[in-house]
Structure 1
Amino acid sequence: MTPLVQLGPLAVAPSRPVPQSGPMADGFGRRIEYLRISVTDKCNLRCVYCMPEEGLPWMKREQILRYEEIAEVVRVMADLGLRRIRLTGGEPLVRRDLSSLVRMIRAVPGIDDVALSTNAVLLADQADALRDAGVDRVNVSLDSLRPERIDAISRRPGSAEAIFRGLKAAERAGFGPIKVNCVVMRGRNDDEVADFAAVTRERPWHVRFIEVMPTGDNLGVQADEFVSADEMLERVGQTGDLRPVAGPGGNGPARYFAFPGAAGTVGVITPMSHNYCERCNRMRLTADGQLRPCLFGHLQTNLRDPLRRGEPLEPLIRHTLAVKPERHWLEHGTAAGSGGLRALSEVGG
């Protein structure tokens, strides 16, 4: 028996045949080379689309994977074709000495790309150490260019100043490319999409506009403030000749555009309006060691307890690949397809 946990109301976990040797592939033939690792469920912000203002019950320390355990999971999966890692949270920089984990991951044969997603509040003090340890690229959440709006969306006064310091530190440290993620919400920041796009004319930022995704605790925001990527691009296109481009290197699902001669790009991530699941190349490891085949799926496999008992992980990983769904089933304004998530912070988005 595999320690597979069904999180939602599905009566049966559909399973498809997958290769039992060689590189990881799911039942739809998609090669899995990318793992998003949540190193903590904690966050120092309370962004309106991501987490309840009062926070969530935090995991206990003994529930969370130690760095050595995370590195062991990466080693096993690297032998199965894993090549790319992204460290997420919660907010990953609230966990102490993250650079030591980066060094452990970088020492794993086969891993050729390590990236970090962060709100950048703590990045100014850690950027150099993380770059020296082997982080290649950073994605920074920035939902407005106006400090008062940033603080309102994050529900943490003073966060804007820290985020801008973190962005400057990332540039000085030589991370490249720097991707700036903006969750667009009607009435909060949707009037800034053209301003964000204008930044890319002069600065080598790759701004990605993200549609709000529904989870259990953000349904009001998602239902009432949703803006489609098509509308975002229409607004930006009114300011200049925006053309499709290949975009920067990375592992994500964004579609990219650019103004002629611009230093950066404009991207859109469209989980609601344009499903991109057919290109999915990833799985997710939660802070407490659950392997999720889909961000919004109803299934996850407990790797932590078998790992601590010294049991082999490969059969569990292969089984998780077999139940990876063809696509997510998110529905506008309802938590029905969100896989039981209360908040995106639980799994790093």
Structure 2
Amino acid sequence: MNAGGRSINYLRISVTDRCNFRFRYCVPAAPFTVIPHNEIARYEEILRITRLACDMGITKVRLTGGEPFVRKNILSFIQQLCAIKTLKDISITTNGSLLTREKIQALMDMGIRRLNFSLDTLVPARFEAITRRNRFDRVWESIMTALELGMAPIKINTVVIRGINDDEVADLAGLTRDFPFHIRFIEYMPMGESHLEKQQQVLTAEIRQNIETRLGPLQQMPHRANDGPSKNFQLSGA
């Protein structure tokens, strides 16, 4: 419990700062400095910290990066993480490009049921422009494979940027009528040398208006304890 009396049960762990994509809103196109390998926390250190955190009430862990699956021996680490009995929920945020059917099945066998995919567009050419990688088909295949193998819920994280993908928010939201997806729209926050401007921010109210104009009214869902600052809505028919 923090000083404000709020119960803390969630730990977010970045296992690497490296990524095989170059998202326009994350990094510049030019070479940039990453953390040296010898300065990145070893798996043993992360496991020890996690066990100590669990002793203090943590029950939920999210693995992020960079891209978690670029780190060597990540599956072995996840298996050890799953062995911590007091952890009730482990989820992973990934761009999906390195997930094969075999890896997804291995995650399922370990007990992982939740994947969050970073996907900012449904247009392959636009995907390449945003990520600087031609991997849309590979990512979509991973999402469909996770769905087929029984991962649930599958969440898709979309950073909305004016003039780049803000015209797709309704298309992405509409996926929830065809698939059991949770689509999470994230406001773009200018940072570092991303070369994107604050004027390209699309705030939540505008995102909601765009969706409702195309797809009809959204029903706001009750706020849950672990939702943080997010607001949850559901489309009719989803």
TM-score grouping bracket, smaller chain normalisation: over 0.9
| Larger relative helix fraction | 2
Q: In structure 2, what is the Cα distance between the partners aligned to 1:44 and 1:65? A: 20
Partners of 2:197 and 2:88 in 1: how far apart? 36
Which residue type is aligned with residue 70 of structure 1?
I
Q: Secondary structure at the match of 1:192?
A: helix
Q: How does 1:1-349 map to 2 (within 5 A)?
A: 25-125=1-101, 126-156=103-133, 158-218=134-194, 220-238=195-213, 239-246=215-222, 252-262=228-238
Distance 1:65 1:47 in 2: 24
Please state how far the C-alpha of 1:68 moved relative to its aligned partner: 1.8
Q: 1:181 to 1:222 in 2, by over 3 A?
A: farther
What is the alpha-carbon distance in structure 1 between the residues aligned to residue 223 and residue 150 of structure 2?
19
Distance 1:223 1:43 in 2: 24
SS at match of 1:49: coil
The residue matched to 2:20 in structure 1 has which SS? coil
Instruction: Give the Å deviation of 1:190.
Output: 0.5
The structure with higher relative contact order (CA 8 Å, sep 6+) is: 1
Separation in 1, partners of 2:70, 2:228: 24
Offset of residue 175 of structure 1: 1.3
Change (3 A) 1:253 1:93: farther
Distance 1:55 1:128, change over 3 A: farther
Q: CA deviation at 1:55?
A: 4.4
SS in 2 for 1:86: strand
SS of structure 2 residue aligned to 1:37: strand
Q: Over alpha carbons, which structure has the higher Rg? A: 1
Structure 1 unaligned regions, length at least 5 = 1-24, 263-349
Q: CA deviation at 1:148?
A: 0.6
Alpha-carbon deviation of 1:244? 1.2
* Residues 178, 204 of structure 1: 8 Å contact kept: yes
Identity, % of aligned pairs? 41
Q: Using the TM superposition, name which of 87-96 and 105-114 deviates more.
A: 105-114
Contact conserved, 1:186 with 1:227, CA < 8 A, in 2? Answer: yes
Q: Secondary structure at the match of 2:196?
A: helix
Whether the 8 Å contact between 2:189 and 2:198 is mirrored in structure 1 is no
Aligned residue for 1:291? none
User: How many residues of Structure 1 are paired with residues of Structure 2 in the alignment?
Assistant: 236
Q: Tell me the distance in 2 between the aligned counterparts of 1:193 and 1:167.
A: 18
Q: Offset of 1:247 from its aligned partner?
A: 8.2
TM-superposed deviation, 1:153: 0.3
Instruction: Specify the code of the residue in structure 2 equivalent to 1:225.
Output: Q
1:322 matched residue in structure 2: none
Q: TM-score scaled by structure 1?
A: 0.64
What do residues 280-307 of structure 1 show as CA deviations (whole Å, max 9, x unaligned)? xxxxxxxxxxxxxxxxxxxxxxxxxxxx
Paired amino acid for 1:144: T
Contact 1:143 1:182 in 2 (8 A): yes
Shift of 1:173: 2.5
Quote the offset at 1:113 in angstroms: 0.3
Q: TM-score, normalised by structure 2?
A: 0.93
Cα distance in 2 between the residues matched to 1:144 and 1:107: 36
Q: Is the 8 A contact 1:34 1:251 kept in 2?
A: no
Whichever residue aligns with residue 200 of structure 2, its letter is E
